[in-house]
Amino acid sequence: MCGFEKIIGQTQPISILTTLHQNGNVPHALLFIGNEGIGKHTTADIFAMLCNCLGNVNDNLTVSKQKITDGTHATLARNPYNPCGVCRVCRKIKSGSHPDIIRIKPSGQVIKIEQIRDLCLVIALKPYTAKLRVVIIDNAQTMNPAAANALLKVLEEPPDRTVFILIAENRRDLLPTITSRCQPIRFHPIPLQHIKEMLMIKKNISSEKAAVLAAMSHGSFAKAMSLLENDWLNRRNLLLGAIWPDSLNSPTLQSPAMILALSARFSREKNNINELLDGIKSWLRDLLIFRYCPEKIINYDLTDKIRYLSEKNTIGTLLAKLEAVQTAQKKIQANANLRLTLDSLFIRLIR
């Protein structure tokens, strides 16, 4: 699969994009909005291929791959809904080597003014070979104020034969003056049943394990895969067994020394720290809602433990702990000391 058929659960965004292309009405700026890991980046790449494909060959037409690769496509029937995936342009875009498909990513934590200035120098020139140059700005919400204002000037007077695709999780994280100049396209979470089935097929795991990972993924297959690859369920059990020992019928491990040792272990997993804190939040959420909507819990493989701890803890206590996790997340995002932040959080959670 080389076209939009590989994108799962995003029928509406794909329909909008293919209609815009088919009608020759592609706007100068698009804004892809939605959670991480639901297909926004892949869709942007495929759309760039669609706009520049030399083939667009209908799947039902028998032609040689060599013909398409050589670009001798003038007499071929065209499929306006998918790129061919095999012409030289499609292959260059897939490999990330096409000079007119420009990708801007954060440098560290932010997209800097220098990156936008360099972009302006490039787009001031005509595209090298592309019919339509595509500029993909990933995590557009990370642009610092200077970078955002520089991009705004470009969007006010967009260059010819160029389309910008801004990718962000929330529209409100961008300047209103920027979003007003983009056509928003919202991507929706992938249905959990789809994620469960894909995990079972691709990774050959049990139905129960796949269902729990899907529930924790917030509709993102990439998130589900990350949880699986990082052995999240076992790490979750280790954490819950220490902070909430009754949750796994384990002996009490709540001595400060044991908790600080656990904090030291997790502080070494910097790349997975958001996953860890989101997991704690999902657990506290389950404890809060179980008495009202038990069918909506996420960690349903631990239903008996959730029932016990939900009755044991007051709503005020659980809300205070949830607030502590959210505060820790904000501190970590502000580059606070990771080890000290986790030490403080874990001590608060066992109280």
Concatenated DSSP letters for 195-249?
A: HHHHHHHHH---HHHHHHHHHHTTT-HHHHHHHHHTTHHHHHHHHHHHHSGGGGT
The tally of domains found in the chain comes to: 2
Residues 66 and 178 in one domain: yes
Dist CA 151 CA 159 (whole Å) = 12
Amino acid 288: pLDDT? 94
Residues 180 and 292 in one domain: no
CATH of the domain at 101: 3.40.50.300
Dist CA 254 CA 22 (whole Å) = 62
Residues 166 and 293 in one domain: no
Residues 172 and 310 in one domain: no
Q: pLDDT tens per residue, the chain (351 residues)?
A: 568 888 888 989 999 999 999 998 899 999 999 988 899 999 999 999 999 998 754 333 333 333 333 343 333 345 668 898 888 999 999 999 999 999 999 988 899 999 999 999 999 999 998 899 999 999 999 999 999 999 999 999 989 999 999 999 999 999 999 999 999 999 999 989 989 998 999 899 988 899 999 988 888 888 899 899 988 888 888 888 888 765 444 444 467 778 888 888 888 888 889 889 999 999 999 999 998 999 889 888 889 889 988 988 899 999 999 999 999 999 998 889 999 999 999 888 887
Residues 181 and 234 in one domain: no
Amino acid 36: pLDDT? 87
**Angle between helical axes of 338-350 and 232-243 (0-180°, round to 10):** 60
Residues 238 and 148 in one domain: no
Amino acid 71: pLDDT? 41
Dist CA 334 CA 49 (whole Å) = 38
Give a yes or no: residue 213 inside a domain.
no
Q: Sign of the C-alpha dihedral, residues 13, 33, 45, 7? A: negative
Give a yes or no: residue 33 inside a domain.
yes
Backbone angle region of 26, left / alpha / beta, with phi > 0 → left and psi within -120 to 50 → alpha: beta
Amino acid 58: pLDDT? 38
Examine the fold and report which residue of 155, 186, 217 is the final residue of a domain before the chain moves on: 186
Q: Which domain holds residue 284?
A: 230-350
Asked if residue 296 lies in contact with residue 322, where contact means CB atoms within 8 angstroms, the answer is no
Residues 134 and 281 in one domain: no
Show the tokens assigned to 25.
Answer: 């009405």
Give a yes or no: residue 59 inside a domain.
yes
Residues 37 and 167 in one domain: yes
According to DSSP, the residues that pair with 110 across neighbouring strands are: 107
According to DSSP, the residues that pair with 104 across neighbouring strands are: 137
Backbone Cα Rg of the chain: 24
Examine the fold and report which residue of 128, 160, 186 is the final residue of a domain before the chain moves on: 186
Give a yes or no: residue 112 inside a domain.
yes
Dist CA 184 CA 48 (whole Å) = 17
Give a yes or no: residue 29 inside a domain.
yes
Q: Please state the φ and ψ torsions of residue 317, each to the nearest 5 degrees.
A: -65, -45
CATH of the domain at 326: 1.20.272
Residues 71 and 147 in one domain: yes
Give a yes or no: residue 221 inside a domain.
no
Residues 44 and 103 in one domain: yes
Give a yes or no: residue 312 inside a domain.
yes
Amino acid 70: pLDDT? 39
Give a yes or no: residue 88 inside a domain.
yes
Examine the fold and report which residue of 157, 186, 215 is the final residue of a domain before the chain moves on: 186
Residues 236 and 174 in one domain: no
Residues 172 and 283 in one domain: no
